[in-house]
Structure 1
Amino acid sequence: MSTPHVLLGLLASGGTRHGYELKRAHDERLPRARPLAFGQVYATLGRLQRDGLVATAGQEREAGPDRTTYTLTDAGRATLDRWLTEVEPPMPYVASTLFAKVTVALLVADVDRARAWLIAQRRAHTQRLRELTAAKAAPSATLDDVVALDFAIAHLDADLRWLHTTLDRVADWHREVHT
């Protein structure tokens, strides 16, 4: 994820904001993403300000310390617009802990053990899929939640299809690797 671009987008959509508001907006709008740390927000804002993409708009005090508010500059808007028009290329490599773990399991375990690991992994994925599907159907689910859950569900579904296909190939894989 590009934290600087997300912060630029949040400023573009919400006007002048301070770091706490940006962190809260990030965590609300990207509910299934890793929450931003306050230090990351302020360090990123500092770099964006240094690069002329945001500017300070003033100070606010709400029952606490002064909070610097930030606003998007014209250069920041242009940077955000360029980023949004760039097509995100599909990942060129398989970079997944699940893929690595299954590959190693197939290399080091006998057929029955490898199959048992795959079945356990499939069970965990199925359980998580059920949890996410229930969360999506919950009356409290916001549109932000639904969009994030759709993304997560689609990825879990793809993992489950891959685990199923790999289970069908365990014996062939084992035979090929160990001969």
Structure 2
Amino acid sequence: MSTSHVLLGLLAAGSRHGYDLKRAHDERLPRARPLAFGQVYATLGRLQRDGLVAAAGQDRAAGPDRTTYALTDPGRAALDEWLSTVEPPMPYVASTLFTKVVVALLVADVDRARSYLIAQRGAHSARLRELTAAKADPAATLSDVIAADFAIDHLDADLRWLRATLDRVADWHREVHP
């Protein structure tokens, strides 16, 4: 995730200060990792340095001064360019799930790999049920449903891989130990 571009996107709707940006991020991207306030302000500092946002005023609402930031024309152009750039599919498998199975097989521990695959399949299935229920919640926002759909599709792909890998491990074990 590009924190800079997410903040630019949130500022496209209008000027905000860092606290509002953090809250809007956490509300709009409910399944993403929450942003730390320090990350928001550090990113705003870089965006301001690069001319993509500008200070639009000071606000003192029952607390310390808060700088309000606005998107600049170069910031809008950078956001538009980012939004129009197609993301390439990931060239490498970067999954702890995949790594654990391969390492278990490297140490020739088929039983450990099989046990891990079965336990992981159970955890994925439980998470799939949670997300399906979350989508049905009447209080779910469009962002909640879209995030759940994204996670469900990835979990479904992982479950298909888990099933196929369990079958392959079983076949391999039968060939090695007839």
State the TM-score bracket (shorter-chain normalisation): over 0.9
Instruction: Using the TM superposition, give the Cα deviation of residue 17 of structure 1 relative to its aligned residue in structure 2, in angstroms.
Output: 0.2
Corresponding residue for residue 90 of structure 1: 89
When residues 73 and 121 of structure 1 are mapped into structure 2, their CA distance, relative to the original with a 3 A threshold, is same
% identical aligned pairs = 84
* Unaligned 5+ runs, structure 1: none
Contact 2:104–2:110 under 8 Å retained in 1:
no
Instruction: Using the TM superposition, give the Cα deviation of residue 63 of structure 1 relative to its aligned residue in structure 2, in angstroms.
Output: 1.1
CA deviation profile, 1:52-81 (whole Å, cap 9, x unmatched): 000000001111111000000000000101
Contact 1:16–1:70 under 8 Å retained in 2:
yes
Instruction: Using the TM superposition, give the Cα deviation of residue 11 of structure 1 relative to its aligned residue in structure 2, in angstroms.
Output: 0.2
Cα RMSD, aligned residues only: 1.7
Corresponding residue for residue 2 of structure 1: 2
When residues 176 and 33 of structure 1 are mapped into structure 2, their CA distance, relative to the original with a 3 A threshold, is farther
CA deviation profile, 1:89-143 (whole Å, cap 9, x unmatched): 1000001111101111222254333222211110011011111111111111111
Aligned residues: 177
Corresponding residue for residue 101 of structure 2: 102
Contact 1:59–1:66 under 8 Å retained in 2:
yes
More deviation in 33-42 or 168-177? 168-177
TM-score (norm 1): 0.94
* Unaligned 5+ runs, structure 2: none
Q: 5 Å matches for 1:15-164?
A: 15-164=14-163
